[in-house]
Amino acid sequence: MMFAVAAFAVLVSLGLAVIRALAGPTVFDRMVAANTIGNGAILLLAVFGFLTERPEFLDIGILYALLNIVGTIAVLKYFRYGDLGHRGGEEPSQ
Amino acid sequence: MIPELIVDIVSGVFLAIGSFFLVVGSLGLLRMPDVFTRMHATSVSDTMGAGFLILGMIIQAGFTLVTVKLLIILLIFFFTGPLTTHALARGALAVGLKPVLFDRNGRKRAKEQKLVQEFGVVEVRDQPPARPTDPARAEKKAAAKTRKPAKSRSRKSAGGKSSGGKSPGGRGGSSSKR
Averaged pLDDT, A86-92:
61
| A88: confidence class by pLDDT, cuts 50, 70, 90 | low
Residue of A14, A29, A30, A76 to mutate for B, most B C-beta atoms under 10 A: A29
Counting one residue from A and one from B, how many pairs have CB atoms under 8 Å apart?
147
Report pTM: 0.70
Evaluate whether residue B150 is within a structural domain: no
Residues B19 and B83 placed together within one structural domain of the fold: yes
Residue in B closest to A23 by C-alpha = B133
Measured between alpha carbons, how far is A51 from B66 in angstroms, rounded to an integer? 14
Measured between alpha carbons, how far is B18 from B109 in angstroms, rounded to an integer? 33
Residues B55 and B117 placed together within one structural domain of the fold: no
Averaged pLDDT, B53-69:
91
Residue of B6, B29, B55, B86 to mutate for A, most A C-beta atoms under 10 A: B29
Residue B13's pLDDT is: 93
**pLDDT, greater one: A6 or B140:** A6
**pLDDT, greater one: A91 or A69:** A69
Residue A82 Cα, gap to closest chain B Cα (Å): 11
Residues B85 and B108 placed together within one structural domain of the fold: no
DSSP one-letter code for A90? -
Chain B residue numbers with beta carbons less than 8 Å from the beta carbon of A60 are none
What's the start-to-end Cα distance of chain B, in Å? 85
Averaged pLDDT, B95-121:
67
Percent of chain B with pLDDT over 70: 56
Evaluate whether residue B18 is within a structural domain: yes
Averaged pLDDT, A86-94:
58
Residue A79's pLDDT is: 78
Residue B170 has pLDDT above 50, yes or no: no
Cβ atoms of residues B102 and B128 within 8 Å: yes
C-alpha B73: how far from chain center:
26
| B151: confidence class by pLDDT, cuts 50, 70, 90 | very low
Averaged pLDDT, A16-36:
89
Residue B150's pLDDT is: 46
Residue B95 Cα, gap to closest chain A Cα (Å): 7
Residue in B closest to A56 by C-alpha = B66
Residues B78 and B12 placed together within one structural domain of the fold: yes
In chain B, how many domains are there?
A: 2
Cβ of A10 and B97 within 8 Å?
A: no
Q: Which residues contact B32 (CB under 8 A, 6 or more apart)?
A: B38, B40, B41
What Å distances lie between residue B160 and A78, B106, B151, B156, B169, CA to CA? 41, 8, 16, 9, 15
Q: Where are the domains of chain A?
A: 2-81
Nearest to A58 among B60, B70, B90 (CB): B70
Question: Mean pLDDT across chain B, nearest whole number?
Answer: 72
Evaluate whether residue B90 is within a structural domain: yes
3-state secondary structure of A79: helix
Evaluate whether residue B111 is within a structural domain: yes
Averaged pLDDT, B7-30:
92
Measured between alpha carbons, how far is A80 from A86 in angstroms, rounded to an integer? 10
Chain A residue numbers with beta carbons less than 8 Å from the beta carbon of B90 are 80
Q: Which residues contact B35 (CB under 8 A, 6 or more apart)?
A: A26, A28, A29, A32, B88, B92, B97
Residues B74 and B131 placed together within one structural domain of the fold: no
3-state secondary structure chain B: CCCHHHHHHHHHHHHHHHHHHHHHHHHHHHHCCCHHHHHHHHHHHHHHHHHHHHHHHHHHHCCCHHHHHHHHHHHHHHHHHHHHHHHHHHHHHHHCCCCCCECCCCCECHHHHHHHHHHCCCCCCCCCCCCCCCHHHHHHHHHHHHHCCHHHHHHHHHCCCCHHHHHHHHHHHHHHHC
Residue/partner pairs of B3-8 with CB below 8 Å, 24 or more apart: B7/B59, B7/B60, B8/A2, B8/B60
Averaged pLDDT, B40-67:
90
Residues B9 and B85 placed together within one structural domain of the fold: yes
Residue of A11, A19, A22, A35 to mutate for B, most B C-beta atoms under 10 A: A35
The domain in which residue B114 lies consists of 100-145
Residue B92 has pLDDT above 80, yes or no: yes
Mean pLDDT comparison of A24-33, B93-102, B125-134, highest-scoring range: A24-33
Question: Mean pLDDT across chain A, nearest whole number?
Answer: 86
> Helices B4-31 & A2-23, crossing angle to 10 degrees?
10
Residue A91 has pLDDT above 70, yes or no: no
Chain B residue numbers with beta carbons less than 8 Å from the beta carbon of A10 are 19, 22, 53
